[in-house]
Structure 1
């Protein structure tokens, strides 16, 4: 019997193609999210001195030998005190030790790295005390009042780096993929000046992160940094097309951002420091820091690197935009005739549309760069405690004296055990336990990376003023793991979770050509489960960023955060189209992430950010992660309820929108969508 011919199934082929596109889009997001988590956490989870430049002079000191024996310092001998002080003043050293006959001097350089100072000073003072050697501390290049922990340099990198990158991406889109148009370099350099000026105005005179005397010296630095990034991105686009935008995002943002070294390059793992020196972000941080605090000394290397990036990129753009087309035209031998008049007339509206599109793209970029400069700088440049929850067991004049210099919200406890219970439940950041003429200050390092140091400094000052003895002790319900001594990991891993959430929705929109679909909620929920597992595996087992006993409870929390952000992004994209991605970025990254409190803690946020945080997912996600890992889930009820409300309402709305049949196609290129969404917020 003759075999019947198989019937064509165009619908089935189309469905299979759609499934493959969706799978490929989500795989791209998963890889980007995993790479971002790996880079961010591995670069910054363990910030300790590594081959840190340190000067010594005078007779050999047993104090230096005791500290150096633990490793981490690269000692350089200087002939006299003047030479070592000059080197410290130029920003070449993180500290120095001046050996003398009767007493020694420890030189610290806070502007080089505030966190390096917090490592070096206690180590040297403890060693000197043990060896019964008198030591005085001298500061070189102290930090400004508007930058008490040295955060300004790294915060300035955010708008400069992301502004330059987005300018290249959005101009490329507005030019319909013509990456090497001859005018493109000039436009990007012009935008870089505008972006640099706005960043300088916002951070300096606007917010007061640095004095007005630094406005003009920093402006050309900002211009160079933004130009180098924008031009390099445009050059890679000229070489690799649309894929070039994603490549630059990976190189400059995902890989280049974490080793920028805003907290001190010699606190980074050695391999990350060596990677960073080849890329613009680390050179940008060094340039800005040395202009801001070291009178522009020792900036030759970062200037050369940034100028090389800008010059090489300009040459590539010129080659593809002018030289190669001109040679190709000459090689044909065809005469170059002027276009006829009708062609010119027909082309005029197109040119006007291109110009309008370009201006609109640059306007969007200007707004985004200004927002990054405003939000992150205003939230984090000068952390100062306000109503810091604190416990007291009995009365002490030390507490009254300390409250003159730090804002505390004091709760009385009947005994030390009750105070420790409050610490176990994440209700207080520390406690004072008086005992006769000697008081004990208990601090909780797993609550905050900044509060223990802040409390110790203020209470030690108060103890000296009142003539009391003070002992400082650390206490944590679950001690910080060896590879997360400052409790930074949860704040770092929050970033890839947020980005993975809205990036998954964005690339699904690009892959399907629609902002929603019948199975969109299920697809995003499935991705959230997998991506939460991947981030959890990388941070817990690969990087050992938190105790393995918390692996299983951390997985659903990570997935919950991803799902909430993904559902919100999908709703906004359904209602607003591709611009919904930008709105999501504003809500989750520009407003939500700065208001999360991060590793320093909510009490160190300014009032606006402290009050805003509870209404947005990032604050709730961070508290749920952090308190579950280090405080057995105490104090997480409100955060969990808020996230579940977000999830339930967003899922219901998204399902209703998915079932509607009024969906219009959204023309979005997948590579372009990935390139735009990857870098936002990826620089810590």
Structure 2
């Protein structure tokens, strides 16, 4: 038993570390790489930028040809040299962060070369998708919904391949796509209602490609098929989806992502919403091939090579036969349980509910990140501040001096500060607090300064600058996801192999796993990927271990009380409500009110604040977060000890219920 437990936890440790490696390596350094960029003539400005930024320059005859290429979603931007001045065209809908990098690089080069430059935005992003994240957010429920449909249908029918499975999964994909479309579009307003019908067949195709391919993997590989799909489609494919823009991914992730559905799903949805459905042939072909191949495998193996049926009741712990890796049909068990049709409907209903929850929660929390009451400091009074507050919601605190304002920044209390001067004004922005706030503050204050005719200097200020390989401050939020997922995966796997949610060694095993998991993720993100300043290595390790332990122990208690349903409850609390309310790299001020209010009571928000402030703010502002996490650690630990001591009745652990529960733990952290 100890050997089985060690092997199970070892598998989780490897998956968790691999998950962290994929997410962080793909998204930590958002730098343009071989970016398609149009030019209408030679320019020293383009040459200067191309020497520092990786551009795939393409020549066009004139502006009309450039605009046509942009409309077909072929370019991230273009440069049009002129006699008196030049024009830089940026395409925010193609990539928000790509637009930021292109503007900064070309404006800097034009200024150094004393060349007048006008910036023109084509295909601008609407307010309800101001960061261009809607296509990535839509992928989450479609990907997970399709995956869960295949997993739960397998559990309900005890087979992954039957002629009617194709119809069932396509039917579910249609219903799930319709629900996602209704919630995200008319319900939440993440895109205009005019896109409702064009997006519906796209959503159906995405969900069907995942669900059919997942079922085919399950039939071909048996129990390992579920894990294979989660690794390939969610962990690897999700990391390489390119929601921030494909050319901002490392080259190997760009090519690897092109093999799996998520990257093509992102391209399909984005091009339908913002580029009138242009350049979607490749995504349609790839997604269609996944769906077609999955359907053929399921249909062929289900009709001409069906799994063998066992005619008599088998013991609950009897192993699957070699010829039936994914199904053992026990008539006696079927007679005692619900009818097959009822089981199928219940399974697909659970998948649909989860898909709807992912759509509602992630879309409502992140599709329109607009700051509300952003903590901000000022030294004295300035008309610039009043003018800026007309467009940006700030919660202003007065400080007696510039040093006092900087001290407040050092304590992680404010996101920026205005220092008025006699000849110029200085705006301090804090990149370690938020990836978006510095951009918003700079843009709004510069507009106000231009209207009022006042000079303004924007300066970055932070106690510890962001790591060179984390220029947007994304790493902390990225490595948080594998920590959360690894926590409840460990508890679930341990329960599966031991047959119990308690036991004298269970608490020790989970705490020991947490220490090793924290170290493993720390080694991957720190020394290997250099995702944060390495002098913080030893203080980061116990924090990562604490986060894993909190989730693992919470899951263990819920599993003891609720059985396999405890895993599902943990997923809902931690990933469906906790993760969206964490604030992440954007920062808490960018969350809607509901998510702002519930975040302090859930582990992910406190875990993120504790980790970020320890790394970048010398541990200031972490007391509440640490106390909350310690409470979440202590209470379940005591509960586990008491439950074990008093030997409360144990909900039976069966292979079927735990297989389902384990499957649920894998995909929900794979957020593109």
Fold in common (TM above 0.5)? yes
Give the Å deviation of 1:347: 11
Q: Which residue of 2 aligns with 1:448?
A: 434
Q: Which residue of 1 aligns with 2:100?
A: 118
- Structure 1 regions of 5+ residues with no counterpart? 1-17, 328-344
Cα separation, 2, equivalents of 1:326 and 1:434: 76
**Does 2:128 correspond to 1:146?**
yes
Q: Which residue of 2 aligns with 1:457?
A: 443
Q: Which residue of 2 aligns with 1:342?
A: none
Cα separation, 2, equivalents of 1:489 and 1:278: 25
Tell me, yes or no, if the aligned pair for 1:520 and 1:658 is still in contact at 8 Å: no
Question: Quick one: which of 463, 466, 475 aligns to 2:461?
Answer: 475
For residues 37-78 of structure 1, the C-alpha deviation after alignment (integer angstroms, 9 at most, x for no partner) is: 0000000000110000000003x1111111111131110011
Q: Which residue of 1 aligns with 2:311?
A: none
For residues 432-491 of structure 1, the C-alpha deviation after alignment (integer angstroms, 9 at most, x for no partner) is: 111114111110111110000000000001101111011101111111111111110000
User: What pairs up with 1:211-222 in 2 under 5 angstroms?
Assistant: 211-222=192-203
Give the Å deviation of 1:325: 4.6
Question: Quick one: which of 171, 175, 185 aligns to 1:194?
Answer: 175
Give the Å deviation of 1:351: 9.9
Give the Å deviation of 1:516: 2.1
Question: Quick one: which of 221, 234, 242 aligns to 2:223?
Answer: 242
Cα separation, 2, equivalents of 1:374 and 1:618: 18
CA pair 247-326 structure 1, distance change in 2 beyond 3 A: closer
Cα separation, 2, equivalents of 1:293 and 1:50: 22
Q: Name the SS of the counterpart of 1:137 in structure 2.
A: strand
Q: Name the SS of the counterpart of 1:324 in structure 2.
A: coil
Tell me, yes or no, if the aligned pair for 2:412 and 2:620 is still in contact at 8 Å: yes
For residues 537-577 of structure 1, the C-alpha deviation after alignment (integer angstroms, 9 at most, x for no partner) is: 11001111111110100011011111111111111111111
CA pair 593-346 structure 1, distance change in 2 beyond 3 A: closer
Cα separation, 2, equivalents of 1:304 and 1:381: 28
- Structure 2 regions of 5+ residues with no counterpart? 309-330
User: What pairs up with 1:356-435 in 2 under 5 angstroms?
Assistant: 356-435=342-421
Cα separation, 2, equivalents of 1:210 and 1:88: 21
Q: Which residue of 1 aligns with 2:669?
A: 681
Q: Name the SS of the counterpart of 2:459 in structure 1.
A: strand
Question: Quick one: which of 30, 33, 36 aligns to 2:13?
Answer: 30
Q: Which residue of 1 aligns with 2:247?
A: 266
CA pair 553-326 structure 1, distance change in 2 beyond 3 A: closer
CA pair 544-347 structure 1, distance change in 2 beyond 3 A: closer
Q: Name the SS of the counterpart of 1:558 in structure 2.
A: helix
Tell me, yes or no, if the aligned pair for 2:564 and 2:661 is still in contact at 8 Å: no
User: Across the two proteins, how many residue pairs are aligned to each other?
Assistant: 649
**Does 2:52 correspond to 1:70?**
yes
Q: Which residue of 1 aligns with 2:571?
A: 585
Question: Quick one: which of 272, 276, 279 aligns to 1:291?
Answer: 272
Cα separation, 2, equivalents of 1:245 and 1:579: 19
User: How much is the aligned-residue C-alpha RMSD, in angstroms?
Assistant: 1.7
Tell me, yes or no, if the aligned pair for 2:563 and 2:651 is still in contact at 8 Å: no
**Does 2:628 correspond to 1:646?**
no
Tell me, yes or no, if the aligned pair for 1:509 and 1:668 is still in contact at 8 Å: no
Cα separation, 2, equivalents of 1:476 and 1:115: 21
Cα separation, 2, equivalents of 1:116 and 1:500: 32
**Does 2:504 correspond to 1:521?**
no
Cα separation, 2, equivalents of 1:347 and 1:153: 44
Tell me, yes or no, if the aligned pair for 2:500 and 2:650 is still in contact at 8 Å: yes
Q: Which residue of 1 aligns with 2:322?
A: none
Give the Å deviation of 1:672: 5.0
Cα separation, 1, equivalents of 2:629 and 2:494: 23
Cα separation, 1, equivalents of 2:354 and 2:307: 37
Q: So what's the TM-score if we normalise by structure 2?
A: 0.95
Cα separation, 2, equivalents of 1:348 and 1:628: 55
Tell me, yes or no, if the aligned pair for 2:560 and 2:651 is still in contact at 8 Å: no
Cα separation, 2, equivalents of 1:439 and 1:351: 73
For residues 147-177 of structure 1, the C-alpha deviation after alignment (integer angstroms, 9 at most, x for no partner) is: 011010100000000000010011011112x
Cα separation, 1, equivalents of 2:423 and 2:201: 57
Give the Å deviation of 1:673: 4.4
Q: Which residue of 2 aligns with 1:15?
A: none
Tell me, yes or no, if the aligned pair for 2:419 and 2:425 is still in contact at 8 Å: yes
Q: Which residue of 1 aligns with 2:212?
A: 231
Q: Which residue of 2 aligns with 1:94?
A: 76
Cα separation, 1, equivalents of 2:333 and 2:244: 52
